[in-house]
Structure formats: C-alpha cells, structure tokens
Amino acid sequence: MSAAKLVIGNWKMNGSASQVRAFANLAACEWPGCEAALCVPYPLLPAAQMAFGATPLRWGAQDCSAEDDGAFTGEVSARMIREFGARYVIVGHSERRAGHAETDGQIVGKVQHALAAGLTPIVCVGEKAEERDGEQTAMVLRRQLLQLVRALGRDLGSIVIAYEPVWAIGSGDAAAPGMIDHTLGFIADMLTFHAGSSASAVRILYGGSVNPRNAEAILSRKPVAGVLVGSAALAPADFMDICKAAARCSTPATSDAT
C-alpha cells in the first residue's frame, strides 16, 4: 500500500483566477509519494477545475454548509462544491470557529454532509495559546473530536484531521517536531480508544507556519501524514518545494506481489 503524504494548501481569502492558472504549470510535474491539493475560495472553484483537471493537483473548498439546501443565505452546500470536481473541503478551521462561532456540533453536521456529497473533509482541531499554557491541550482536542468520533462510526476512516495549534498559525513559528509527534500520537490514541479499527485509516496532518524550510523536518515524522499550509501555499515555488519534501518523506509503496 502506498503511504503518500498529503500537502493541502489553504488559500483562505486570497488568490485570483490568474493565480490558480499559475499553479497549473507546476502541477504538470508529478510528485510520486505526494498527494497535493489547493483549497481555494468558492468563486475560484471553476478556475481550479479548469486548470487542474488534467494535472495531479486536486482542489477543494474551505468550508461547507451543514444543510443540503434551502433558505440559508450565503451558505454553500457540499454538493455544490462537489459539482466543481472538488475532492476536499476544510471544516472547522480555527478562523471559522473563532470568527463565525462554529460549534463542535455544527462541525459534525458539516462533516456528514461533506462525506455524503463524496468530499473528503479535513477537520481542523487545535488549542489556543492560553489553553496550551494552561496544559489544557488534551482536554481541548478531546472535546473537539469526541462528538465527531461518536457520530461518524465506521465513516471515521474517510476523514482527514488537521492538528493546527492556533498559536502557530500565521506566527512564522511552527510547533517543534517533537511536540507535533506527541500531539498527533495523542490524537491517534484517542481515536483508537473510541473508534477501534476505523481509526487506523484516519490521516492526521499538521498545520501552522509550515514553509519550505521546515517542511521536511515536520513531514519526516512518522505520525505526520501530511501538512496543511496557509501562506506558503500562495506561491507556486514554495508550494512545490513543500510537495517535493513530502515526496522525499513518503514511505515507498509496498508491492502486493508476494
């Protein structure tokens, strides 16, 4: 089985159709061992579909509704996102938890709709600086994940989890690789405790100030299945360097032949 590392770019509220096209050129290069995607603002989904359709680069969105359709002004459903060929959707990013008061319960609903629409949800979790300082990281992560684990059952294996400590996002200082190991190990253990064997298929990423200089040190850690990248995903050369680091860190595919 191949253990390709995932590199997901989160463009946040940045980018343009011409920037999308600039990434199509680099996407022409194959990175064996790296699965890469850009999560763009909704209006750029058609440009992403057109530019990346014939490349190995995938695309996605940064949020979806917890409803199918109806009177929800300004909302976008997972099915609508999927219609543009998207593979992924980020759910529960800390900027949405903080700025839009998203609750863990709403996030469960979004994840279920994403899965029903055929998207792979990337569920973000992570503690704030004061929670880290108060040694509450484990408690916060457990709270953010428990409802989800209970609601998903066997579907748990179809999601991706991104550990993004809020204090590391946009700070220029990623968490130390040893700390990332420790926290991702905690998340994996917690999932296994509550969900048994479905937990083993969950890919757990790290996000927060990942850049071409620190990517390899982070991606080479065994529990790290990939990275969620913000600002460094806006420049094609930086994103490509992170993808190359991911390819170097991937486990070679094992042959099924005996």
Number of residues that bind ligand 13P (CB under 6 A): 14
Of 210, 225, 242, 247, the one binding ligand 13P (CB under 6 A) is: 210
- Written as six digits, the tokens of 53 are 């359709």
Residue number, 91 or 232, with CB nearest to ligand 13P? 232
Regarding 198 and contact with ligand 13P (CB under 6 A), the answer is no
Q: Find all residues with CB under 8 Å of 5, minimum gap 6, and list them.
A: 33, 34, 35, 219, 224, 225, 226, 227, 246, 247, 249, 250
CB under 6 A: which stretch of 70-78, 214-222, 230-238, 245-253 binds ligand 13P? 230-238
Find out whether 114 and 121 touch, Cβ atoms under 8 Å.
Answer: yes
Instruction: For the CB of residue 257, give the shortest distance to ligand 13P in the complex, in Å.
Output: 39
Task: Give the contacts of 252 (CB within 8 A, at least 6 positions apart).
Answer: 33
- 10 in contact with ligand 13P (CB under 6 A): yes
Separation of alpha carbons 21 and 32, rounded Å: 22
Active-site residue, selected from the candidate residues 67, 75, 93, 216: 93
164 binds ligand 13P, rule: CB under 6 A: yes
Write down the least CB distance from residue 154 to ligand 13P, Å. 27
CA 202 to chain centre: 12
User: Is residue 98 close enough to count as binding ligand 13P by CB under 6 A?
Assistant: no
Give the SS3 label for residue 35.
strand
- Which of residues 208, 219, 225, 242 is near ligand 13P by CB under 6 A? 208
164 is catalytic: yes
Catalytic residues: 93, 164
